[in-house]
Structure 1
Amino acid sequence: MTDLVWHSSFASLTGYSGSSRALVLALEDRGLAVRPLYLFDSDDREAALFGPVHPRIAALQRERPLRLDLPQVVYGRGDLFAKNSGGYKVGFTMLEVDRLPAEWVRQANLMDEVWAPTAWGAAMFRESGVTRPAYSVPLGVDLEIFRPGPPRAQLAGRTVFLSVFEWGVRKGWDLLLRAYRAAFRPGDDVLLLLKVDCREPAVNPLRAMAEALPSPAPPVGLIYNRPLAPAQLAELYRGADCFVLPSRGEGWCMPALEAMACGTPALVTDWSGPTEFVRETSGYPLAIRGLVPAPADQPLYAGARWADPDMEHLVALLRRVHANRDEARAKGTLTAEDARRWGWDAAAEVIAERLGAAR
């Protein structure tokens, strides 16, 4: 028996793969019979390319029949929607700029409906020219792993800012380092801890960060290209006073939500994906000065814009967190409560409702 084909990736080190695994398993736990299908090749090739697939996903691929008369969700880049071979076609994607590429729009309009993880994203699809019904279908967070814990024992006298991101100008690392240096002196009781992953062998993030943060500068710690298990990552979030990411655009922003679930308030740009879950009452929305052209050398961003985060506001918010740690702790309590809305089971419930409405 099969109720749904989920056409995506499941083993690579990407946000799509991680959320695909979580969504398929959450849908299974709700009683939907899901057939995972690898998007880029045969199912066995994914394991050969990226290592073992989650055992439950692999078992479903072996045991569940593949049926093309059922609803099928292609969850990946919008230029892959044409691979959808289902009886009811759903395209599920996200992008971090203010418009979709023309090819994404063309393929989205071949679907029966399209999904974005946020209301902002669904509205952006429509504004880009998608004429098929566009719905907001959220992602989620593992609330069993990402949950509050006791106060940290080490560095208790310092304000610890944490940023977790994959290297790239979109993540606003340059703004963060400049603002941090402007906000604090070398002797201040602060620490900026960066967890950075870089998959581009020709790029040297360490040199770029050193140039952006010349001495003398307040202290910075770096975890570079070191994979962490989810439980280790949760410990990292719990050890911070504030999560910071002055990103220029996000489709969702999973690290911010993971930090929130751990009781760490998020200081993130008040535009694009994070507007779905970051609130003034429980976090630190970072104002933008407007929208500016995204880099022309990125094909997906041709003709699109992204946010210009407000540098002065970022400096002020960093200082506010340091000067008012009690406020940050209070926001952390509220933000952990906010995050309870965003479990994977809640995301699976929305998907089940959408599929039920489509029948």
Structure 2
Amino acid sequence: MIVEIMGNFFSNHSLAIINRNIAIELDKYVDVFIHPLDKYDQSYKLSINVVNKLNELQNKPKLIPDLQIRHSYPPLWRWPESKKTKVVFIQPIENTRILFEWQYKFETFADHVITISDWCANIFIEAGLNPEKISVMYPGFNPELFNTNNRFDSETFRFIYIGGIVYRKGIDLLLNAWKKTFTKQDNVHLMIKDTPQVYGKSNLPEIINQMNNSGYAQANILSDIKSEDEMAQLYKNSDVIVHPYRAEGFGMHIQEAMSCGCIPLVSEGGPTDEFVKDYKINTKKVSVSNDLQKSGLINPGDSLAMMGSYEQILEPDINDLSNKMRYLFENRSKILIDKSNLSTWQVSGERLYKILTMIQSKNSTKLTNRE
């Protein structure tokens, strides 16, 4: 079986992390070559072994693939060069609805869709796509890197937030809960890993500076951490990873942090329910109202804005978030982390190989179940 994988490979965005890891794992089973949509950037500090392997996969002879995997945002809507090639999309989704245009294009171009959680799969199925052509492959983590070896236990209790400084990730809820819960008298620290290269610049530095000068517990922004080694050490220096999201597709950083010994504190009712068992924030489902869209809290180009009032999001309870942050702060030594549902990249690669073998063995009828 010859497999081509198209997408970004050389950045530290979640899509690129998935692409390079599944390419390396899948190469153990089939003939894989990659079609990068980005260029190598030394600033992302990828390991030399990973870079060499990606270069090897990129420089392989470009044979006609049996299967072409596409994993990018937005998706690549086009026909493959050969009619022989089946098209497989790996497609995360954070919304509870799929744009009608996307639904039509998946039905037109895709032989199969692989998504990253059961939660995401249900969104595709509820949109009317054929359940037999939807599969789930959980993203993984590298246990040789993300583990509890050399954890740093500090007297200061440390919360960490990793994600976009955008409305759907719930950073506003976290900052308001932080001010509600802790003061400078508490030996506690909030570290925020910003990703302006992905989500754009924000006014977060001004907000954090104002908070630190107003009697609240210390918070700071981390923007220079890029490599996986640096991320692993950051997790090992932290006690709780907190993510009060309104919309999420999986939460790779939560899985990585848990494997390094961080307690997860995340929204209930989303995809993280599939691997986080305890310490979930109470939520309710709400519609994205016109008033909310006009408030300026949602970027006009954000997927929530595109879906409009058809979209539903989770709204975490800020009081429950505050209470649970306080509880974890006061009871760290009593808490055990259940890692039984975490998945490594090796498991992801095995799962992907089984899915592709199944796809290759079947006749192609595209995704639609309306024939």
If the length of structure 1 is used for normalisation, what is the TM-score? 0.86
User: Equivalences for 1:188-207 in 2 at 5 Å?
Assistant: 188-199=186-197, 203-207=202-206
- Residue equivalent to 1:46: 39
- SS of the equivalent of 2:284 reads strand
1:78: Cα distance to partner? 5.5
Task: Give the structure 2 partner of residue 23 of structure 1.
Answer: 22
Q: Deviations over 1:240-292 (max 9, x none)?
A: 11111111111111110110111212111123332221112xxx211212233
Question: 1:58 matched to which residue of 2?
Answer: 55
> 1:74, 1:81 within 8 Å by CA — same for their partners in 2?
no
Are the counterparts in 2 of residues 72 and 87 from structure 1 also a CA contact under 8 Å?
yes
Contact 1:82 1:107 in 2 (8 A): no
Alpha-carbon distance, 1:189 to partner: 1.9
What does residue 141 of structure 1 align with?
141
Does the 8 Å contact 2:180/2:322 carry over to 1? yes
CA distance in 2, matches of 1:226, 1:78: 27
Residue 303 of structure 2 corresponds to 300
| Cα pair 1:174 1:212 within 8 Å, conserved | no
Distance 1:83 1:14, change over 3 A: farther
Q: Percent identity?
A: 22
Q: Which amino acid aligns with 1:326?
A: S
User: Deviations 1:173-227 (Å, cap 9, x if unpaired)?
Assistant: 111111112112220121112222213666332124445777111122331x213
Contact 1:197 1:226 in 2 (8 A): no
Alpha-carbon distance change, 13 to 213 in structure 1, aligned in 2, over 3 angstroms: same
Is residue 101–residue 300 contact of structure 1 (8 Å, CA) maintained in 2?
no
Structure 1 stretch 348-357 or stretch 299-308: which is displaced more?
299-308
Change (3 A) 1:210 1:114: same
Q: Are 2:324 and 1:324 aligned?
A: no
Q: How many pairs were matched up?
A: 339
CA RMSD of superposed structures (Å): 2.5
1:356 is matched with which residue?
Answer: 357
Q: Which residue of 1 aligns with 2:217?
A: 218
Q: Please say if 1:285 is aligned against 2:280.
A: yes
* Offset from partner CA, 1:319-340 (integer Å, 9 cap, x none): 1101211233x22xx33x543x
Aligned-partner Cα distance in 1 for 2:10–2:79: 19
In the alignment, the residues of structure 2 paired with residue 139 and residue 27 of structure 1 have an alpha-carbon distance, to the nearest angstrom, of 13
SS at match of 2:101: helix
Local SS of the residue matching 2:250: coil
Q: Provide structure 1 residue ranges, at least 5 long, that are not aligned to the other structure.
A: none
User: What SS does the aligned partner of 2:69 have?
Assistant: strand
Q: CA deviation at 1:147?
A: 0.5
Gaps of 5+ in 2: 294-299, 362-371
Query: What residue is the counterpart of 1:159 in the other structure?
Result: 157
Structure 1 residues 138 and 64: alpha-carbon distance in aligned structure 2, compared to 1, 3 A threshold: farther
- The reply on whether 1:312 has 2:310 as its aligned counterpart is no
1:343: which partner in 2? Answer: 344
Instruction: Tell which has more relative contact order, 1 or 2 (C-alpha 8 A, sep 6+).
Output: 2
Structure 1 position 127 matched with structure 2 position 126: yes
Q: Match of 2:261, SS?
A: coil
